[in-house]
Amino acid sequence: MSERLNWAKTAPGAYKAMLSLHDYLEKQSDLEKELLDLLYLRVSQINGCAFCIDMHWKDLRSSRISEPHLYLLNAWREAPGYSPRERAALEWAEAVTKLTNQDVPDETYRVVREHFTETEVANLTLAIVAINGWNRLSISFHKQVPRHELVEPAMA
């Protein structure tokens, strides 16, 4: 599968606007970088965006997050080691991404508010909206994972 188009070059103003939101979240919100990267990776897993999974897995791997914390992310509900704050953020991210029955349940909102201020919840939601947008752009236009970084399986 080859890349359909480079939307960042085709629509540079839109690309710059999306980067501005990302920069705001990284530099001006009070959310921890590891938490944002955890959300970006989880949402990318849900959406099946190989390019974004590759990017955010590497970001997390280079941070101080533990390997089990990273590897068990897709089973965070059953896995030990996730803080109540991380669990609330992941629950919120999944609900906002999936919008089951076009709704985010009141109970999910109640739990996220136990661990985050109103401003933080707004910023969490903007981060989720942003990564969903990046995922959809990458998937729609077949953004490629760099080949030189893929590990080829050993021949048996």
Q: Which residue has the higher pLDDT, 147 or 55?
A: 55
Query: For domain 32-144, is the CATH number 1.20.1290.10?
Result: yes
Q: Cα(first)–Cα(last) distance of the chain, in Å?
A: 26
Task: For residue range 52-69, list pLDDT tens digits in order.
Answer: 999 999 999 999 899 999
Q: How confident is the model at residue 156 (pLDDT cuts 50, 70, 90)?
A: very low
pTM of the predicted protein model: 0.90
Distance CA 51, CA 56 (A): 9
Supply the pLDDT for residue 69. Answer: 92
Annotated domain spans of the chain: 32-144
Q: Is the pLDDT of residue 148 over 60?
A: no
- Using the structure block, give the residue that is written with the tokens 């903007």: 126
Distance CA 106, CA 92 (A): 11
